[in-house]
């Protein structure tokens, strides 16, 4: 359980959901975890619950100067960054609309967070990850990008593209870059927002006939930041119970 002892991990959207699960798992394995979230108060509560290896950081990933300053400060205080998990994103039933329905303003906001946020955090963290043994970045995409029929799905398709681009760009610096595409994961938000008919339709496409859980995505993350995935980069790991949708 000390696999990541001495490592420094920055997790965006770390206050709740997948992000908090990532932080808990990495801290349990010895990593110093920084929970960066737009909701600084909730991030602070989550960090306090995790313990001494966790700290909170109020951060809007769409704010380029703030992102640059935050990554530099984390690296200065802890000697560098080893793991970056680009988890922050706008995702809700309301966002799962065609671009023409969602409208330009709301679509632009989602791109700023879901796509530019990933790019800005990666560019800001990369100089402090270069050359560090086991340096790894994990981006959170979605099965909504297979195929993408909504504004949200398009942003997550872009995340897959950004992942392959940065795998090429950062590989010479010793940084691996991969993504996870979660399927239907029954978080509290999904249970509250998604109509039962939609849940039933997606579940019917699964080969694995059980509910997806946050722990399934956490385990995928742990693999992608582990030495066991040292020969893996530029990939998007679909964690969907075998949903048969194809690109």
Spans of all domains in the chain: 8-239
Structure tokens at 10: 């920055």
Closest CA to 199 of 21, 39, 149, 189: 189
- Between the alpha carbon of residue 29 and those of residues 20, 137, 176, 245, the distances in Å are 14, 17, 20, 34
Give the pLDDT score at 101: 93
Give the pLDDT score at 18: 96
- In terms of DSSP H, where are the helices of the chain? 17-28, 40-50, 64-78, 99-102, 104-111, 117-129, 151-170, 188-193, 196-205, 214-224
Structure tokens at 132: 């560090």
Give the pLDDT score at 95: 80
CA distance 191 to 214: 13
What is the number of helices (H) and of strands (E) in the chain? 10, 7
- Per run of 10 residues, the mean pLDDT along the chain (length 247 residues) is 93 96 98 98 98 98 98 98 97 84 94 98 98 98 91 96 98 98 87 82 89 96 97 97 71
CA distance 206 to 204: 6
Give the pLDDT score at 96: 83
Q: Does domain 8-239 have CATH number 3.40.710.10?
A: no
CA distance 223 to 5: 16
- Would you call 210 exposed, middle or buried from its count of C-beta atoms within 10 A (0-12, 13-18, 19+)? exposed
How many Cβ atoms are within 10 Å of 30's Cβ, its own excluded?
14
CA distance 138 to 146: 19
Q: What residues have CB less than 8 Å from 163, skipping those under 6 apart?
A: 139, 141, 177, 178, 179, 234, 235, 236
CA 169 to chain centre: 19
List residues with catalytic annotation. 152
CA distance 179 to 194: 24
Strand partners, 32: 8
Kindly write down the DSSP assignment for every residue of 69-88, as one continuous string. HHHHHHHHHHS---EEEE--
Bond from prior residue into 147 cis (ω within 30 degrees of 0): yes
CA distance 155 to 149: 11
Q: What is the pTM of this model?
A: 0.95
């Amino acid at each position: 359980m000390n696999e990541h002892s001495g490592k420094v991990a920055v997790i965006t959207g770390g206050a709740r959901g997948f992000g908090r699960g990532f932080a808990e798992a990495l801290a349990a394995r010895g990593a110093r975890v920084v929970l960066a979230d737009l909701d600084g108060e909730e991030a602070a509560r989550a960090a306090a619950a995790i313990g001494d290896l966790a700290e909170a950081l109020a951060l809007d990933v769409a704010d380029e100067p703030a992102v640059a300053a935050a990554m530099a400060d984390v690296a200065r205080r802890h000697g560098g960054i080893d793991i970056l998990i680009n988890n922050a994103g706008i995702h809700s039933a309301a966002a799962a609309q065609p671009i023409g329905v969602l409208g330009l303003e709301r679509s632009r906001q989602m791109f700023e967070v879901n796509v530019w946020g990933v790019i800005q955090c990666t560019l800001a963290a990369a100089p402090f990850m270069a050359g560090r043994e086991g340096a790894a970045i994990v981006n959170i995409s979605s099965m909504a990008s297979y195929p993408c029929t909504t504004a949200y799905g398009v942003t997550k398709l872009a995340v897959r593209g950004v992942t392959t681009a940065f795998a090429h760009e950062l590989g010479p610096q010793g940084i691996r870059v991969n993504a996870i595409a979660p399927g239907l994961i029954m978080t509290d938000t999904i249970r509250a927002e998604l109509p039962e008919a939609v849940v039933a339709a997606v579940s019917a496409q699964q080969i694995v006939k059980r509910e997806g859980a946050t722990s399934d995505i956490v385990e995928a993350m742990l693999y992608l930041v582990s030495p066991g995935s040292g020969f893996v980069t530029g990939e998007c790991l679909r964690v969907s119970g075998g949903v048969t949708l194809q690109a």
